[in-house]
Amino acid sequence: MRILYHLLVVLFLMLQGVAGQPFLPSPRQPCEEQNGRCFPGICRRPYYWVGTCYNGYSCCRRYIEA
């Protein structure tokens, strides 16, 4: 029975790969959750730095005057 379960898991992962879906769910995107964008290098006006993206880029958020 365990073998059948493992074969079904492998089949599911293979079907996801064929469909172009990632094998594992991607981690949360904290930059997008903060309404930011990923830029290479430093943040330029009208953006300010709020963190680092998963690929090493700077997470920049647009500065809004109140």
5-41 confidence digits (pLDDT tens): 788 877 777 776 666 655 555 566 788 888 899 999 9
With contact defined as beta carbons under 8 Å apart, do 45 and 54 qualify?
Answer: no
The confidence score (pLDDT) of residue 60 equals: 93
Neighbours of 39 (CB within 10 A): 15
Please give the span between the terminal C-alpha atoms of the chain, in angstroms, as a whole number.
Answer: 63
The confidence score (pLDDT) of residue 30 equals: 80
The confidence score (pLDDT) of residue 5 equals: 79
| Ordered structural domains, the chain, with CATH | 26-65 (3.10.360.10)
Query: pTM value?
Result: 0.52
Owner of token pair 């990632």: 22
The confidence score (pLDDT) of residue 18 equals: 61
pLDDT in tens, 32-58: 888 899 999 999 989 999 988 888 899
Residue 66, helix vs strand vs coil? coil
With contact defined as beta carbons under 8 Å apart, do 59 and 50 qualify?
Answer: yes
